[in-house]
Structure 1
Amino acid sequence: MENKSHAIAAGAFVLGLLAALVALVVWLTRDNTVRNIYELSTRDAVSGLQPQATVRYRGIAVGKVASIDFDPKVKGNVRVRITVDERVPLTTSSYATLSYQGVTGLAFIAIDDKADGSPTLVPDNDNPPRIPLKPSVLAQLQDRGEAIINQIEEVTRRANKLLGDDNQKRIADALENIAQVAATANQVTRSFDNTLKTRIDPALAAIPPLANTARESIATFRTTANDFSRVANSVNGTLTRLNAEGGTMDRLGNGTTALQQTLESLNTTTLPRFNRAADDTSLAARRVGRVADAIADNPQSVLYGTGTPLPGPGEPGFVAPPARP
């Protein structure tokens, strides 16, 4: 009887211990975070993504993948439901991509935002809003893999064509021509060295005497230039004396001024008087002419004066002269 009671006590203790451990685990793993539900829909494959996979916002773990199934709204698409912490500032410009951890290769959802000031995305757990799931880099490579392979094939085809037998022969001929040109260049270099030794070096040796002759010519030129400078200084002195105050040019200017004043006085004073005298003389000559004409017509007027003239025809007192026999 005692053995049974000890066994029951031991079993009760073990069960109590297990219950305490379960309660401790539940208490330690409890999560009081409030999360909102969002949906992702994509036509691309989501290989490696599993429920309870991590959801990260700019590298920070903010939620979990709730479920993965087919999209009932868009035929052929995959729908991924995620739960995200309500504190995450999601906006209408937020987008998600499928990323992979470097070592384990496990997939997770990465959420980012364009940060363009878009309005906040309003959560609704009954009708969860959708966040666009953009293709990952691997998916983009898969989509463009065929085009990349075609380009690689085109490059390979052109390389094969470039390295064909005809082109290889041309390249060999070009290398041979380059070698010939190099040989010709070496010959030209040696010829140039011989020219330097046989022609240019003697010419360089003759340069010092030519330099001495040039120095002598320069000295002679300097002497001539000095003489010319002295002559120029003498001419400048003469011109200075001519242009100085009281000099020849000054006296010539004063004489010209006096002559101009004399001509102006002659034009303003003497010539008008001479013109008046000439007019008076002409008037007197006309008067003398009229007197001479009167004396010629009536000489007795010198003795008796002109008197009263006889009336003419048609005038009162006119008497016709008698007729001549």
Structure 2
Amino acid sequence: MMESKVNYTAVGVFILLLCLLLSATVYWLAVGGRQQNTTPYLIYATDNVNGLRDSSNVLYRGVSVGRVDSIEIDPANPTLIRIRVDIDKTVPVRADTVAQLIPQGVTGLSVINLTGGASPQPLSTAPGQPYPVIRYAPSVFSRLEGGLSDATLMLSKIATRLDMLLSHENLQALSRTLMHAEQITGTLAAHRQDIAQTLVALRQSSQELAALGAQGQQLSTRGEKLIARLSDTTVHLQDTLGEMDAAAKSWRQAGEGAAKLGATGTQALDQLQSRTLPGFDRLTDNLQRLSSQLTDLVRSLKGNPSQLLYGVPQPPPGPGEHR
């Protein structure tokens, strides 16, 4: 019987190389080609990303366009979850594109769904970021979960306050209040006639008050009219005072003119006394002498009319005089 001369070492090396080649091919097909035909983006989630895994699908309005590359807590802000995704380069990721986490069936897994894309402006890389950042919107279930948490907290507060309100002390106080209310109701029933009379009196008083109010309204109207008249009278008085001021100014001007005229008359009188009256006195003396001379001339003519022809006769010579 012949022994087989197969080299097991060579077979093992061949199988190992074949496995490495297949692994490299699969890796290139799964990762290398996808990296060449995809663009990396970042998404910062603000809520719980439970159900999202590495290699989870990225959808664009329900169409698979990429996969999740990594999920980690943002080192700069621990309240954010940093998600890196690789999306096909042909997908129109715009400035208004929004990423949202949605569950995938009943498996408990989640995917990222992109919406928007109506803006003509492409999404650019913000300063300080290695890749463009797609805006994130909390999912409906996250908002419902938050709303349910808030509602649960509110119900807990309401239950606590109801427990405090319905404590033993408050129930006793409420019982005493009801007892007092019953006593007050009985007292009111016993004095209902007095209460009815009081209500009638109150009604009459309200009617009288209404009448007084009407009279007060009339008095107010009359007062307003009187105030209006007083206002008109005040206006007339102001006009009259203005006219009196004008008249006083006119009288003052007239007084000043009279004073000036008096001063002028005084000056004229002084001139009359210093210049005119002495001349007038001299003129009067001359007229008197002239009148005396005329009188003597007339008398002389009456006694001797011939003197008009022969002149005035000479007086007879005195003693010792010769003609």
TM-score (norm. length: structure 2): 0.40
